[in-house]
Amino acid sequence: MSVSRRKLITTGLAATAGALGLGVAARLAQKYGLVPPDHGGFYGVGETLNYASQRLLTRHSLAREFSRSQISKPPFPNEIPPLNEEFKRLQAGKFADWRLTINGMVAHPASFSLDQLKSYPSQSQITMVQCEEGWSYIAEWIGVPLAHILQAVEVHPQARYVVYFSIDPEWWDSIDMADALHPQTFLTYGMNGDELPVGNGGPLRLRVPRQLGYKSVKFITHLTVTDNLKTFGKGLGSASPEGGYAWYAGI
Amino acid sequence: MGDSAYLPSAASAVPVAVPTATVPSRHSVLVRVTHWITTLCFFALLVSGAEIVVSHPRFYWGETGNDLTAPLFKLPIPASRNFVPSGYGYVLPDQNGWSRYLHFQTAWVLVFTGLLYLVSVWLNGHVRRDLLPNKADLSWRVFSKDVVSHLRFKRPTEADAWSYNLLQRLSYLFVIFVLFPFVVWTGLAMSPAFVSAVPAAVNVLGGQQSARTLHFFVSVALVLFLIVHVGMVWLAGFRSRMRAMITGKMITGKMLTGKIIAGRAATPRADTTEEGT
């Protein structure tokens, strides 16, 4: 009898400590921005653990870079949705009229042509695109770090996310500031020493090499800096959770 | 030798009327709870893993692989994405979204359960007492005898119900300390964020696609273990072994005839040495 009472007490204490611990963990996670926008629902706990643990582990880590000899030949253009009329019109004009607009929590909302983006010192990285399906390829990506552009438009200090939009209205996504200011997050306009092919997201693709391929949205036309993702779409952070895929795709 | 396995073994049976309440638990609460959580997790991971695989049922070695590169091998099934050259004229329904959510959430449950199990069994002596083979059993003679009796589908003796035999111990150790950690490792090695922090996790495996292929192989090995494991439980007596893993109580043939099996303490690992005498 005394054994079972002791067991009852220790079990009760452990349960209380566990519940308190979870409560404290949830508060800390909120405070340090470790809760993803798609944290609701049955899979919310797993998603939060994925995002929180990897964000703590990878705040400053660099995606693996490869040697030139490891670049995939031939380059792999995966299937893309049908291009809309607006894209075809801009393509006919060799993308001279392509614009990247930036607004939201910035001091200087701006609009950049591709040539203006190319006037910033260009950088390159040889990194892997990894699709959630399982395939992958390595390419050299040439562009300007997103951090440089965000610096140019002067992002407000309370900004928490950068939302980015494709010319395809159904395709938009967002990343936190750790990824947005990460030195390998590029606005990419070139690949393997050439223009970025349309099949790989040309003329402008946001590369987020520490996350799966679907976070590297193709045909980028617009960025918004914000501290609240609730006002975009269904409030889940990107089109991916609306289609059943996780917002955070580092795993 | 074959028949004697069905006969009562003198060394392992004590024909006294011990009250059932004092019969030691065959499996501790911790082992039983973690066993069934792991079972649930395993099936969730298997189903969701299979769903993820069908979106690209081709496997590669090295860093990269895609529709334009030669696969190491491909599964003879259609894909759930229409552009994968599967050789089939139709496309399976695409279930990748919830499969990925479920796969990772379950992986967390499995890892926490596994850590709880590992720390506990290490501290409480379960590993040393029940899983590590006895020094005396670590011989080719015992090993080959065990293999032969398994191959003959010999029913385990009463003593076997209270202790694991050599092959059993070795396979449990292999699954717990090799296959499960490796399946977690190869899974993490596919995560682009994780390997940005710990690049060695994928580099020593030979690349991201190698990690994916190894993850698949380890999963197949775990499924094979599951099949053999359930087969052996069936052979040993499905009802009694299931009851033992659910309630902790072991009911054996002798209990039904009014006799009772002595606990582990009174059974000095008669499992492999006494068998067939």
| Cross-strand bridge partners of residue A138 | A128
Q: Is the pLDDT of residue B259 over 60?
A: no
Contact A196, A203 (CB under 8 A): yes
Q: Is the pLDDT of residue B205 over 80?
A: yes
pLDDT digits (tens, 9 = 90+) for A183-202: 999 999 999 999 999 999 99
Q: What is the model's pLDDT at position B253? A: 54
Pick A230 or B9 by higher pLDDT: A230
Contact B100, B52 (CB under 8 A): yes
> Which of B64, B194, B199 lies closest to A138 in CB terms?
B64
Most confidently modeled range among B83-97, B98-112, B122-136, B156-170 = B98-112
Cβ of A81: how many Cβ atoms within 10 Å? 11
pLDDT digits (tens, 9 = 90+) for B155-188: 777 767 778 888 888 999 999 999 999 999 999 9
What does the alpha-carbon distance between residue B170 and residue B132 come to, in Å, rounded to a whole number? 8
* Interface residue B74 vs chain A (CB under 8 A): no
Q: Closest residue of B to A75, CA-based?
A: B68
pLDDT bin (cut points 50, 70, 90) of residue B23 is low
| Yes or no, beta carbons of B63 and A136 under 8 Å apart | yes
- Comparing C-alpha atoms, which of B32, B246, B30, B28 is closest to residue B117? B30
- Per-residue b or e along B225-262, where b marks 16 or more CB atoms closer than 10 Å to that residue's CB: beeeeeebbeeebeebbeebbeebebbbebbeeebbbb
Take residue B249 and report the two structure tokens written for it: 């109580």
The HSE-up count of residue B265 (CA atoms within 13 Å, CB side) is 3
B10: amino acid identity, one letter: A
Computed over every residue of chain B, the mean pLDDT equals: 83
pLDDT digits (tens, 9 = 90+) for A224-245: 999 999 999 999 999 999 989 9
Pick A141 or A25 by higher pLDDT: A141
Q: Closest residue of A to B187, CA-based?
A: A251
What does the alpha-carbon distance between residue A218 and residue B163 come to, in Å, rounded to a whole number? 60
| Yes or no, beta carbons of B196 and A62 under 8 Å apart | yes
What does the alpha-carbon distance between residue B267 and residue B191 come to, in Å, rounded to a whole number? 48
What does the alpha-carbon distance between residue A122 and residue A44 come to, in Å, rounded to a whole number? 39
What does the alpha-carbon distance between residue A103 and residue B196 come to, in Å, rounded to a whole number? 31
Is B107 in a helix, a strand, or coil?
Answer: helix
* Interface residue A22 vs chain B (CB under 8 A): no
Take residue A242 and report the two structure tokens written for it: 């609306």
Q: What is the model's pLDDT at position B254? A: 52
DSSP H or E run through A58: helix A44-58
ipTM of the complex, rounded to two decimals: 0.90
Pick B143 or A68 by higher pLDDT: A68
- Cis check for the bond before B181: say yes or no (omega within 30 of 0): no
B-chain residues within 8 Å CB-CB of A63? 192, 196
Contact A139, A204 (CB under 8 A): no
Contact A247, A237 (CB under 8 A): yes
Is B261 in a helix, a strand, or coil?
Answer: strand
Minimum distance, in Å, between the CA of residue A16 and any CA atom of chain B = 18
pLDDT bin (cut points 50, 70, 90) of residue B252 is low
- CB proximity under 8 Å: B 121-180 to A: none
Q: Is the pLDDT of residue B10 over 80?
A: no
pLDDT bin (cut points 50, 70, 90) of residue B55 is very high
Q: Is the pLDDT of residue A6 over 80?
A: no
Q: What is the model's pLDDT at position B263? A: 41
Q: What is the model's pLDDT at position B40? A: 97
pLDDT bin (cut points 50, 70, 90) of residue B89 is confident
A-chain residues within 8 Å CB-CB of B55? 132-134
Contact B64, B208 (CB under 8 A): yes
Contact B130, B25 (CB under 8 A): no
High-pLDDT (> 70) share of chain A, %: 98
Q: What is the model's pLDDT at position A3? A: 59
Ranking A16-30, A49-63, B73-87, B171-185 by mean pLDDT, the lowest is A16-30
- CB proximity under 8 Å: B 83-112 to A: 83-84, 96-98, 100-102, 104-108
pLDDT bin (cut points 50, 70, 90) of residue A33 is confident
What does the alpha-carbon distance between residue B27 and residue A156 come to, in Å, rounded to a whole number? 59
Rg of chain B, C-alpha, whole Å: 23
Q: What is the model's pLDDT at position A89? A: 95
Q: What is the model's pLDDT at position B256? A: 47
- Comparing C-alpha atoms, which of A160, A172, A180 is closest to residue A214? A172
Q: Where are the domains of chain B?
A: 3-270
Contact B210, B203 (CB under 8 A): no
A23 to A20, A118, A190, A241: CA distances (angstroms)? 5, 48, 47, 25
pTM of the model: 0.86
High-pLDDT (> 70) share of chain B, %: 81
List of residues 6+ apart from A189 with CB closer than 8 A: A114, A117, A118, A142, A143, A195, A196, A202, A203, A204
What does the alpha-carbon distance between residue B56 and residue B74 come to, in Å, rounded to a whole number? 9
Is B1 in a helix, a strand, or coil?
Answer: coil
Q: Mind giving me the DSSP string for B153-205? A: TPPPPTGGGGS--HHHHHHHHHIIIIIHHHHHHHHHTT-HHHHHH-THHHHTT
Contact B274, B9 (CB under 8 A): yes
Is A231 in a helix, a strand, or coil?
Answer: coil
List of residues 6+ apart from B237 with CB closer than 8 A: B155
Q: Mind giving me the DSSP string for B147-167? A: HHHHHTTPPPPTGGGGS--HH
Q: Which CATH superfamily, name and number, covers B3-270? A: Transmembrane di-heme cytochromes, Chain C (1.20.950.20)
pLDDT digits (tens, 9 = 90+) for A50-66: 999 999 999 899 999 99
Q: Is the pLDDT of residue A158 over 80?
A: yes
Pick A210 or B253 by higher pLDDT: A210
Q: Give the DSSP letter of residue B238.
A: H
For range A127-147, the mean pLDDT: 96
| Yes or no, beta carbons of B191 and A78 under 8 Å apart | no
B-chain residues within 8 Å CB-CB of A74? 68
pLDDT digits (tens, 9 = 90+) for A82-96: 789 999 999 999 999
For range B23-44, the mean pLDDT: 90
Q: What is the model's pLDDT at position A56? A: 93
Q: What is the model's pLDDT at position B117? A: 94
Q: How far is CA A103 from the centre of its chain?
A: 18
Minimum distance, in Å, between the CA of residue B64 and any CA atom of chain A = 5
Cβ of A245: how many Cβ atoms within 10 Å? 20
